[in-house]
Chain A
Amino acid sequence: MMKTASAVLALLSLALCLVFPVGFFLGRIASERFKLGLVFSSASWFIFASLWTAASGRGKKP
């Protein structure tokens, strides 16, 4: 459960890292908001991807 939730949230965060620049390119998001959004979605990726990796590792035998 933890693994699936972290995986979904991690992938969503990575997708968000692309949504912000696309929005900026299309002129829908201002430069400052795009850069701030990219920082937060990047931080979110690292948090959830680390949890995902940790949860994946726990099930494995040493």
Chain B
Amino acid sequence: MGPKLSALTGRLDKLYEFDREPVDSGKLQPWTKFAGMFAGEHVAATEFVIGAFFVLHGVTARDLLFGLLFGNLLAVLSWTFICAPIAVRTRLTLYWYVRKVAGPGIMVVYNAANAVLYCILAGAMIAVSATALGLAFGIRSPALSDVLPRSPAWVLLTFVLGALFTLLAILGFAKLSRFAQVASPWIFVIFIAGALAALPKLGVHPDFSNFGEIARTKIWTGLPVAGQEKLGLWHILFFAWFCNLAMHVGLSDMAVFRYAKRWSYGLFSAFGMFPGHMLAWMASGIMVAAVGREMNPGLMAYEAAGLAGVGALLVAGWTTANPTLYRAGLALQTITPNWPRWKTTLAAGTATTVLACFPVVFMKLLDYVALYGLVLMPVGAVVFAEHWVLPRLGIEPFRAEKRGWSVNPAALAVWAGTLAAVFLLPIHLYFKWLPGYVLALAAYAGLSLLDRKPSEKVGP
């Protein structure tokens, strides 16, 4: 390992030092913690946009219902059968496990990629919240096709909000995390309240007798708005499944499930998926239909729930951008020599704020969510193959750690090769990750077989 990489990984290791060891059996958490955590984490500001986009993309009511039902079920099963079992067996975070599997060099690249992806995500959250504030100052929200900011007032607004979020993230991450815990059940209730209050405007009778008809003809009509592609059942199913791809199939939630008593605790992710990624998305769909399918989260929230709605949008953006900025700052700390936490958070916040000015970060949110999972997914496949497949092929596990590699060449080749292959695959962006995952698994197992020492036996 070169001296520069060695210094870099040394700093990285120091940051994660506190969870270097496997979780002690005395620190395992009850199922209620997992149910509560998932319920609180999956109602964010972006939910206001995702559900609304499904309406704009001309999804039908039937496709939405079945797509979300089965897509979220697949997401829950991915946490249960892919992420949780490895976490429970190793009791390690993905950070330390990837280090053993792929080497510290890969971990540096993974962290840097994560930092950039987190900044874009936090930028989208700031932009969504800015639409709420823009309403108060009469600043027009960006149009669906906007890539660049359309007015200096929008730039100023996102800068003010970004600066505020960054300052708060610097001043008190821990306090804000506690505030986020208090806010999350309320945000979910405001989603439901807003949708319920928007129904009379759409003509739904108080006895719900015509809800089905209104849902089909005025909300999820099956007709996309101009310039938006039509999405169907499979798009929705895959979107719901890959929305948290980096967390389940990508294994970053090993950090959470290493505290689980059993792998079956993965099933408690349903407490986040079905309220947050089903009901909240449907609620935001109803709200956007009630404002004439105008993609303006601030207007949607205000028209449906008044000031409480605007407050929910701001709080949702703030509380979800906060940990995202924190994580981005943490990832940046590894490549910034001896910078204190406030400085890295400031750097991440500045980058995020600049990104938030560009409407494309939230107007193309669905595609961004797909890309986010896609970029990190091959690392999950490599770890899965190393954990389950390689021992069955009689290949020595953790060769990177045992042989002192800074980079496991097979892991790097699989990561880069998979991304190149899925880029070339002539299928919709939403469907690319699945063949990519299978390809990454097979390629890593194949390359590891080629690299096997003659003394290593084949077979279990």
Binding site for B on A (CB under 8 A): 14, 17-18, 20-22, 24-27, 34-36, 38-39, 42, 45-46, 49-50, 53
Nearest 7 pairs of A and B residues by beta carbon:
A35-B306, A21-B193, A38-B308, A21-B196, A21-B197, A49-B182, A17-B189
CB distance from A4 to the nearest CB of B (A): 17
B interface: dominant SS: helix
Are the CB atoms of B197 and A25 closer together than 8 Å?
yes
Instruction: Specify which of A25, A36, A50 is in contact with B196 (CB 8 Å cutoff).
Output: A25
Bound CA span A26–B85, Å = 47
19 A-B contacts (beta carbon < 8 Å)? A18-B189, A18-B192, A21-B193, A21-B197, A24-B197, A25-B196, A25-B197, A25-B204, A34-B197, A35-B305, A35-B306, A38-B193, A38-B305, A42-B186, A42-B312, A49-B186, A50-B179, A50-B182, A53-B178
Known: A22-B196, A24-B197, A38-B308. A14 touches B181 (CB 8 A): no
Binding site for A on B (CB under 8 A): 178-179, 181-183, 185-186, 189-190, 192-194, 196-197, 199-200, 204, 206, 305-309, 311-312
Are the CB atoms of A24 and B200 closer together than 8 Å?
yes
Are the CB atoms of B190 and A42 closer together than 8 Å?
yes
Bound CA span A50–B200, Å = 34
CB distance from B198 to the nearest CB of A (A): 9
Q: Which residue of B lies closest to A49 (CB)?
A: B182
Bound CA span A58–B425, Å = 56
List chain A residues, Cβ under 8 A from B308.
Answer: 17, 35, 38-39, 42
List chain B residues, Cβ under 8 A from A50.
Answer: 179, 182
Are the CB atoms of A45 and B193 closer together than 8 Å?
no
Bound CA span A39–B183, Å = 14
Number of interchain pairs (Cβ within 8 Å): 67
Q: Which residue of A lies closest to B311 (CB)?
A: A42
Bound CA span A24–B197, Å = 6
List chain A residues, Cβ under 8 A from B307.
Answer: 35, 38-39
Bound CA span A45–B184, Å = 11
List chain B residues, Cβ under 8 A from A21.
Answer: 192-194, 196-197, 305
Q: Which residue of B lies closest to A36 (CB)?
A: B306
Are the CB atoms of A17 and B306 closer together than 8 Å?
no
Known: A26-B206, A35-B305. A14 touches B189 (CB 8 A): yes
Q: In the complex, given contacts A22-B196, A34-B197, A35-B307, what are 18 additional A-B residue pairs having Cβ atoms less than 8 angstroms apart?
A: A14-B185, A14-B186, A18-B189, A21-B192, A21-B305, A25-B200, A27-B200, A27-B206, A35-B305, A35-B306, A38-B193, A38-B308, A38-B309, A39-B308, A42-B312, A49-B185, A53-B178, A53-B182
Instruction: Specify which of A17, A24, A53 is in contact with B190 (CB 8 Å cutoff).
Output: A17
List chain B residues, Cβ under 8 A from A26.
Answer: 206
List chain A residues, Cβ under 8 A from B312.
Answer: 42
Q: Which residue of B lies closest to A20 (CB)?
A: B193
Bound CA span A19–B308, Å = 14
Are the CB atoms of B192 and A53 closer together than 8 Å?
no
List chain A residues, Cβ under 8 A from B189.
Answer: 14, 17-18
CB distance from B413 to the nearest CB of A (A): 48
Bound CA span A60–B199, Å = 44
Bound CA span A34–B199, Å = 14
CB distance from A39 to the nearest CB of B (A): 5
CB distance from A48 to the nearest CB of B (A): 10
Bound CA span A26–B196, Å = 10
Bound CA span A26–B189, Å = 18
CB distance from A36 to the nearest CB of B (A): 8
Instruction: Specify which of B186, B200, B305, B306 is in contact with A46 (CB 8 Å cutoff).
Output: B186
Bound CA span A14–B183, Å = 11
Bound CA span A45–B307, Å = 15
Bound CA span A46–B200, Å = 28
Q: Which residue of B lies closest to A28 (CB)?
A: B206
Are the CB atoms of A45 and B186 closer together than 8 Å?
yes
Are the CB atoms of A38 and B186 closer together than 8 Å?
no
CB distance from A42 to the nearest CB of B (A): 5
CB distance from A43 to the nearest CB of B (A): 9
Instruction: Specify which of B193, B199, B206 is in contact with A17 (CB 8 Å cutoff).
Output: B193
Q: Which of B183, B306, B307, B309 has the most CB of A within 10 A?
A: B306
Bound CA span A49–B184, Å = 11
